[in-house]
């Protein structure tokens, strides 16, 4: 299995609720390496651009408002099969369908405020990593 990188975001709800450490702990205990990390506060325009794939969805405006409502933490995670490993740790988008023991099942309170984002495939991961990080910011 190839070593992959993926983008992880701890969303404004996760940061506001003091769950940064909890989420990072789960990544590290599973063996994912953090290759870059920063805290930032997206503008509406940046949130719109990041989630442009969802621009026709009914929840897009709310999602953009939520994602620009407070600081987030962006990370590059690396490891074998990192895209899927991260998605397994996060659980399903809707916390009510997420498996027990996943981040979203344990902490989310709504389908929108679902704590974390993770790239959905290796190609998306490359695009999303490039959105948040330049080469100088990666180790
Ligand atoms: P994420 O994995 O970051 O990808 C898109 C985000 O849109 C998703 O997590 C949720 O935060 C949000 N989202 C997805 N579906 C809905 C929905 N039905 N209602 C509101 N927000 C949603």
pLDDT in tens, 125-134: 999 999 999 9
> Would you tell me the crossing angle of helices 122-132 and 82-90 to the nearest 10 degrees?
80
To the query of whether residue 117 is one of the catalytic residues in this protein, the response is yes
Would the pTM count as exceeding 0.95? yes
Q: Is the CB of 119 under 6 A from ligand 1?
A: no
- Nearest ligand 1 atom to the CA of 66 is 11
**What pLDDT does 139 receive?**
86
- Using a 6 Å cutoff on CB, does residue 63 contact ligand 1? yes
- The catalytically annotated residue of 117, 119, 125, 133 is 117
């Amino acid at each position: 299995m190839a070593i992959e990188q993926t983008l992880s975001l701890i969303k404004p709800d996760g940061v506001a609720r003091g769950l940064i450490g909890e989420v990072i702990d789960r990544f590290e205990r599973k063996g994912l390496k953090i290759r870059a990390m920063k805290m930032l506060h997206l503008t509406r325009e940046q949130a719109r651009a990041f989630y442009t794939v969802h621009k026709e969805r009914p929840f897009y405006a709310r999602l953009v408002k939520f994602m620009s409502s407070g600081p987030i933490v962006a990370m590059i995670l690396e490891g074998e099969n990192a895209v899927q490993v991260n998605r397994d740790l996060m659980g399903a988008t809707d916390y009510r369908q997420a498996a027990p023991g996943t981040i979203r099942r344990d902490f989310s309170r709504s389908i929108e405020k679902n704590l974390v984002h993770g790239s959905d495939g290796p190609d998306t991961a490359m695009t999303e990593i490039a959105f948040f990080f330049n080469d100088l910011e990666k180790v």
